Amino acid sequence: MSARLKVAIVGCGVAGSVLGYSLSRRPDVEVVCYERATPDDHSEAGTGLNVGPNAIKMLDALEPELARQVVAASYDWLHWTCSDTAGRTIFDFPLSDCADRPGIRIRWSELYRVLRAPLAGVARFGTQVLGVARDPARPATYAVDYRAADGVARRDDGFDLVVATDGRYSALRPQFAGAWTPRHVASCIFRLLVPDTSGGLMGDYAWWFNGNRRLLAFKVPPGQVYIAGSFPLPQPGAEIPAADKAPDAMARHFYPEAARPCPEVAWMVEQLTDQHDQIHWARLQETPPLFAAPHDAVLFLGDSAHGMVPTLGQGATQAVEDACVAAAVIRDALAARAAVAGPPVDLHAITAEISRRRLQRIEWVMALSLEATKAMLPDGEPRRDMGRLRDPEWQGSLTRLWSVAEPARILREGTA
């Protein structure tokens, strides 16, 4: 390893962008990020998201200016309501009951814009990574082959550490850590972003249930509404029946049988019907968590490390936590080496330490998110399953999830 740690980050999603920003500010690190999207192509895939208070608090502890920019581009997430589709309340509570700061509501495209803007000098946008492998000339380092934005195949070499933030369907994880089997959940999810024509009906984060079929919606800047829907599948891994995806199925899924739908649900069903061709569909599934490649200086963060069900909005949230912890571990290792003019940092020790600090937290968050999905499964009963979120045990879990006590200590020592 040279005097500067050379890091390749494959994928400028949430985790890759946060880590790239933090490391690129250090004089003892050289960072190159690779991203398929062009600088102006901030994909609408996913359309909107809520990011938990825990992510904002961790980001503020590590990189306060970046946290400020993210918050400035979003609306506060202050409240969570849950009702049936006729409008009868199941629960209603402010996040301040369980968190010491708000979360945020934001479009994916806007979050990407904010996170990627500072990477202009270190990111190769519009590139397709063709392969990552040990450098034959220097087996202790790695080379990245990619097709650049101009269509020409190129190679960058001499990387000490590779960070795979290339998403739920990562190409690097099976290469460096072996194949895995997704854990399917017996539910699907669909997503749509629409202009807010509701006349003030839509606002903060809210759920509506018709039996075990759920709608979710919240407003995002600059005046749009993110709508998501879920309904059970016959069994884990089953295909989504075509009839259940048809435009005329929206009212059947979400209109109550013995009552009129509340105005919010009626408006959402109208949007889902009228803009049906814009809906993105997926089946719920999990990826077994893994952060460190067993034999290489390769690190997995975000969805490549732990794809999870989105029920508590912790996918992007935990990607931020991942990146903050990874940046802190790398920073501290480099600082310790510089303090004593010691030997090169042990990259396997670094990836193992990041895994140690993150694995227990991620396993707990994934289990909690799956537990919160019960109301959307074939035997789900919302008033029973969602009503539990007001029980002291659940309130304690949400406090542990969202509050992230002492983030500076967690960045130093791990666990949360």
d(CA 309, CA 221): 25
pLDDT digits (tens, 9 = 90+) for 262-289: 999 999 999 999 999 999 999 999 999 9
Q: Which helix H or strand E contains 8, and what residues bound it?
A: strand 5-10
Angle at 232 between CA 226 and CA 235, to 5 degrees: 140
Which residue numbers in the chain have pLDDT < 50? 44
- Residue at 144: amino acid letter: V
- Output the six-digit token pair for 60: 């503020």
For residue 147, which of 117, 126, 169 has the smallest C-alpha distance? 126
Are 135 and 142 spatial neighbours (Cβ–Cβ below 8 Å)?
yes
- Looking only at the bridges linking them, the beta strands covering 224-232 and 183-195 are antiparallel
- Token pair listed for 62: 């590590």
- Tens digit of each residue's pLDDT (9 = 90 or more) over 366-379: 999 999 999 999 99
Sorted by sequence, the CB contacts under 8 Å of residue 135 that are 6+ apart come out as 141, 142, 143, 157, 158, 159
Tokens 């089946």 belong to which residue? Answer: 283
Strands 183-195 and 280-286: antiparallel
User: What is the model's pLDDT at position 416?
Assistant: 65
Dihedrals phi, psi of 181, to nearest 5 degrees: -105, 120
> Nearest Cα to 362, choosing from 411, 317, 297?
317
Q: What's the CA gap between 163 and 125, in Å, rounded?
A: 16
- Every domain of the chain and the residues it spans: 5-76+103-182+287-376
Query: What whole-number distance in Å separates Cα of residue 273 and Cα of residue 248?
Result: 7
Superfamily of domain 5-76+103-182+287-376: FAD/NAD(P)-binding domain (3.50.50.60)
This prediction's pTM: 0.95
Q: Tell me the pairing of strands 161-164 and 298-300.
A: parallel
Of the candidates 120, 63, 65, the one whose C-alpha atom is nearest the C-alpha of residue 407 is 63
CA distances from 78 to 53, 87, 90, 103, 273 (A): 10, 20, 18, 7, 29
Instruction: Find out whether 229 and 254 touch, Cβ atoms under 8 Å.
Output: yes
Whether the ω angle into residue 232 lies within 30 degrees of 0, i.e. cis, is no
* Tokens 């029946």 found at: 241
pLDDT digits (tens, 9 = 90+) for 31-55: 999 999 987 765 545 589 999 999 9
